[in-house]
Amino acid sequence: MEKITLGIIGAGRIGKLHAANLAANRNVRIKTISEVKIDPKLNDWADSLGIENVTEDFNEILNDTEIDAVLICSSTNTHVSMIIQAAEAGKHIFCEKPISLDYCESSQALDAAQKAEVKLQIGFNRRFDHNFKRVREAIMEGNIGDIHIVKITSRDPAPPSKEYIQASGGLFLDMAIHDFDMARYLTGSEVVEVCAKGAVLVDPVFSQMGDIDTAIITLKFANGALGVIDNSRKAVYGYDQRVELFGSEGCVSISNDFENNAEWSTSDGVFRDKPKLFFLERYNDAYIDEMNQFVESLLNNMDVLVSGNDGLQAELIAGAAKKSLDENRTVLLSELKATLK
């Protein structure tokens, strides 16, 4: 393949972002975007990026023999059937996280992609972030030694809308799933035990949706390491994304990214601007790299950098966290894996 021809399903927040980033890649032609809510503004936007067609029916993408690969950026509850249909149509697939709201269904989607021998990359963009990549390098180079403790802080600046919460699958599947993936990615070890505590401290709307807005999740890894993740849907000072890994030979940590590194000191204290606002700002470069790497793996027939199995493993951890919260006990990952056929 000299140039990759793509179709994109879903022109919401993330679909539009990926489309804009891919439009800047000279190895890519975006032929079609499908969106159930088409308006004139969407057509103008697509024109401005050189996208050739806008359609309400994603089957137009799947039936188009010129299209090599499809990006699934629609709401989570649509992903599984789209992956299965895209695989059957022989398209390579990039699918946003989470693969689905039910890990058994996600597993079926992975089977379909494997059977069709198409590539399937999952949207764990943080793996492409310069800070997290450097932490992983330090670990892989042995600078930290054997990992003993993983600490991840992941807090959003503000909660999403009620409609979004309702369809999101809950805090563990929608939000903490990035942290579960990061924990596996940085330690290079699978999670074997999960214990989660949750609370509604930000907005009672989360209770009405049967969800939580605050969580502490402890993890035990196959290599013996222990982990702790804390999540909040509202950090008043901005997007808070930090990790620390402590091991037998040392410690590595990253703090937040800022728009600038200006710091001023007065008689009242030492001050600086808040961290970058949210995921679109903090991970802008990571999203670009994520798309470019997906295209590279198609052009050069290489493995994708975030596999379908990575998506499934993170969903299993999310499922274990939910079960732990609901049943007020530590849950073994093997309990969930036993329910996969």
Ligand X SMILES: NC(=O)c1ccc[n+]([C@@H]2O[C@H](COP(=O)([O-])OP(=O)(O)OC[C@H]3O[C@@H](n4cnc5c(N)ncnc54)[C@H](O)[C@@H]3O)[C@@H](O)[C@H]2O)c1
The size of the interface with ligand X (CB under 6 A), counted in residues, is 23
Does residue 34 interact with ligand X by CB under 6 A? yes
Does residue 13 interact with ligand X by CB under 6 A? yes
Instruction: Choose which of 125, 189, 231, 324 interacts with ligand X (CB under 6 A).
Output: 125
Which range, of 12-20, 189-197, 263-271, 307-315, touches ligand X by CB under 6 A? 12-20
Q: How far is the CB of 77 from ligand X (least distance, A)?
A: 8
List CB contacts of 102: < 8 A, sequence separation 6 or more: 80
- φ, ψ at 93 (rounded to 5°): -135, 135
Does residue 186 interact with ligand X by CB under 6 A? no
Q: Which residue, 4 or 9, is less far from ligand X as judged by CB?
A: 9
Does residue 7 interact with ligand X by CB under 6 A? no
333 close to 320: Cβ distance less than 8 angstroms: yes
Closest CA to 207 of 158, 157, 174, 162: 162
Which range, of 10-18, 207-215, 236-244, 319-327, touches ligand X by CB under 6 A? 10-18
Q: How far is the CB of 142 from ligand X (least distance, A)?
A: 30
Instruction: Choose which of 4, 6, 8, 9 interacts with ligand X (CB under 6 A).
Output: 9
Q: Between residue 241 and residue 300, which ones bind ligand X under the rule CB under 6 A?
A: 279
Tokens representing residue 64 in the block = 């188009």
121 close to 303: Cβ distance less than 8 angstroms: no
**Facing residues of 55 across strands?**
34
Does residue 132 interact with ligand X by CB under 6 A? no
Closest CA to 318 of 194, 235, 182: 194
- The DSSP element (H or E) to which 4 belongs, if any, is strand 4-9
Which range, of 6-14, 204-212, 252-260, 291-299, touches ligand X by CB under 6 A? 6-14
Q: Which residue, 83 or 225, is less far from ligand X as judged by CB?
A: 83
Q: How far is the CB of 315 from ligand X (least distance, A)?
A: 12
Does residue 97 interact with ligand X by CB under 6 A? yes
276 close to 131: Cβ distance less than 8 angstroms: no
262 close to 275: Cβ distance less than 8 angstroms: no
Which range, of 73-81, 113-121, 179-187, 259-267, touches ligand X by CB under 6 A? 73-81
Q: Between residue 196 and residue 215, which ones bind ligand X under the rule CB under 6 A?
A: none
Residue bearing tokens 């299993």: 316
Which range, of 72-80, 109-117, 222-230, 331-339, touches ligand X by CB under 6 A? 72-80
The one-letter amino acid code at 188 reads G
Which range, of 19-27, 67-75, 193-201, 243-251, touches ligand X by CB under 6 A? 67-75
Instruction: Choose which of 4, 29, 58, 68 interacts with ligand X (CB under 6 A).
Output: 58
- Where does the chain have alpha helices with state H? 13-23, 40-48, 59-62, 79-88, 103-116, 130-140, 162-168, 171-174, 176-187, 205-208, 279-282, 284-299, 308-327, 333-337
Give the whole-angstrom CA distance, residue 155 versus residue 176: 9
Binding site for ligand X (CB under 6 A): 9-15, 34-37, 58, 73-76, 78, 96-97, 123, 125, 174, 279
